[in-house]
Amino acid sequence: MKQNTETALLVMDMQMGTLAMLPSAGELIGNVAKAIANAREKKIPVIYVVVGFRQGTPEISMDNKSFSAFKERLADVNMNEFMKVHQDLEPLPSEVTIIKRRISAFAGSDFEVVLRALGIRHLVLTGIATSGVVLSTLREAADKDFRMTVLADCCADGDEEVHRVLTTKIFPRHADVITIEDWVKL
């Protein structure tokens, strides 16, 4: 099967620290693993996006309400360990990992450069949190004219109601929102 270079699967913030924020991450991990296997089988590039900082977090401003709350806790954290993707979802050596410095996959990273170099025009989004990286990346990608699909059951949020509202009311304005089972059948 030839490589599908127009579409890429995004696996966003599936790091141990972010997964630890969910009361039950097992189903999410299983669904994302199925999405990764499907993409690899169909020769769709898998691009990993992780949030990470230099040691001591110099990128985090105390004026940034979201990140400043974590600045002190992250100061002594080993960033290489912090950025590791869950062992059941790890990238292959040939797969790209983008390190972002903010919530959106685009902010503070070379994500858009990589997408252009690979000829990617259609993004299939997975990630945690639905109200964080998924929402921010989706909105910015929409402004940049990317086609998008959100795998609703491959995304999660600490607030189930927020996840439901985003995937049923907000995201459909910008993307096709489907399940992993529907995507595997395409």
DSSP string, 96-152: EEEEESSSSSSTTSSHHHHHHHHT--EEEEEEE-IIIIIHHHHHHHHHTT-EEEEEE
pLDDT tens for residues 30-55? 999 999 999 999 999 999 999 998 88
Domain positions in the chain are: 7-68+76-185
Q: Which residues contact 172 (CB under 8 A, 6 or more apart)?
A: none
* pLDDT for res 1: 36
CA distance 140 to 161: 23
Where residue 48 falls (left for φ over 0; alpha for ψ -120 to 50; beta otherwise) is beta
pLDDT tens for residues 12-28? 999 988 888 888 899 99
User: What is the pTM for the complete model shown?
Assistant: 0.93
Token pair 């985003």: residue: 166
The CATH number for 7-68+76-185, chosen from 3.20.19.10, 3.40.50.850, 3.30.9.30, 3.30.420.40, is: 3.40.50.850
Given a contact cutoff of 8 angstroms between Cβ atoms, the answer to whether 20 and 2 are in contact is no
More confident call, 39 vs 63: 39
Please classify residue 79 by burial: count the beta carbons closer than 10 Å to its beta carbon, then call 0-12 exposed, 13-18 middle and 19+ buried. middle
* pLDDT for res 49: 98
